[in-house]
Amino acid sequence: MKSGIVITQPSMQKAMEFLTWHDVAPYRYWVGSKRGKQEGLSAVSLEIQYVGLNPKPVSETEGKLRAKVASLSMPNSANMQVLNSTTVRQIPWGDLISSHSSILAENLRTNNLKVRSIDSARKEKVTVVLDEREKKIIGANSADSILIAKVYADLCAVSTTRVAQRTAETLGIDPDLVSMALRIARRNKWLTSSGAGKSGGELTSIGESIFHFENGVRREAFFLAKRGK
């Protein structure tokens, strides 16, 4: 295992924060630690980076940038909870990947590059006003079908794996409703097809028009907020 350390302070004896890397092909593990006044040295951050079988050496520029980021995120000693094997085993990988996909799908049409806190952004949104019918999805009508097709298409842009099931989970509906809505959307040429038996599709220009006509923007915002997506 090849390892290294990023040294940003003149004296290691007086340093309080440390960053090392460890190559175990095909991954590079970055470990950040902090020296407490009484607790001693404790690991407080871990990043797993895919680098392949022949990783490039860590450049001075990358080392300095990573050290700066690690330093900014270091907790105060009083609030420090160390990382250990139990912490790693409890990482909710499935939930993280699902949340990652949902966030990407929601922000596909965002053009401005910026750091965006999703929770904060939701709190700033104006309350969506809909009538009682628009707050329900029953399936076999144009308004519901195009809404389901739109969410399906956005999720497809991220990944087609289990996309029908993920659409159902995103909207809080039965998967059978998704299948029915997709058939209606494709029959009306609102949604493209990737071929018989294959997942995938994009809204057509007609589909985009129907989505807006059926108050789709507000309905989508309502259901995503309702499900906490």
Give pLDDT tens digits for 217-227: 888 888 888 76
The answer to whether 21 and 29 are in contact (CB under 8 A) is yes
Handedness of CA 75, 81, 82, 85 (dihedral sign): negative
Predicted confidence band of residue 125 (pLDDT cuts 50, 70, 90)? very low
Q: Which residue has the higher pLDDT, 143 or 101?
A: 143
Report the amino acid identity of residue 136.
Answer: K
Q: Write b or e for each residue in 68-80: b if 16 or more Cβ atoms lie within 10 A of its Cβ, otherwise e.
A: eebeeebeeeeee
**In the predicted structure, residue 130 carries a pLDDT above the cut 90:** no
pLDDT in tens, 72-82: 776 665 566 77
The reported pLDDT for the residue numbered 120 is 44
Contacting residues for 199 by C-beta, under 8 A, at least 6 apart: 156, 160, 161, 163, 164
pTM equals 0.50
Q: How far is the C-alpha of 227 from the C-alpha of 159, rounded, in Å?
A: 20
Position 16, amino acid: M
Least confident of 9-13, 26-30, 169-173: 9-13
Question: 32-60: per-residue pLDDT in tens?
Answer: 888 876 657 888 888 999 999 999 999 99
Which of 52-56, 138-142, 214-218 shows the lowest mean pLDDT across its residues? 138-142
CB atoms within 10 A of CB 53: 6
CA separation for the pair 72, 115 (Å, rounded): 15
DSSP string, 89-107: HT--HHHHHHHHHHHHHHT
Q: What is the helix (H) or strand (E) element at residue 5, kind and residue range? A: strand 2-6
Give me the pLDDT at residue 132, please. Answer: 79
Q: How confident is the model at residue 119 (pLDDT cuts 50, 70, 90)?
A: low
Quick count: other Cβ atoms within 10 Å of Cβ 122?
A: 13
Q: Distance between CA atoms of 58 and 72, rounded to whole angstroms?
A: 20
pLDDT at residue 23 greater than cutoff 60: yes
Q: What sign for the dihedral angle of Cα 206, 177, 221, 142?
A: positive
Share of the chain above pLDDT 90, in %: 33
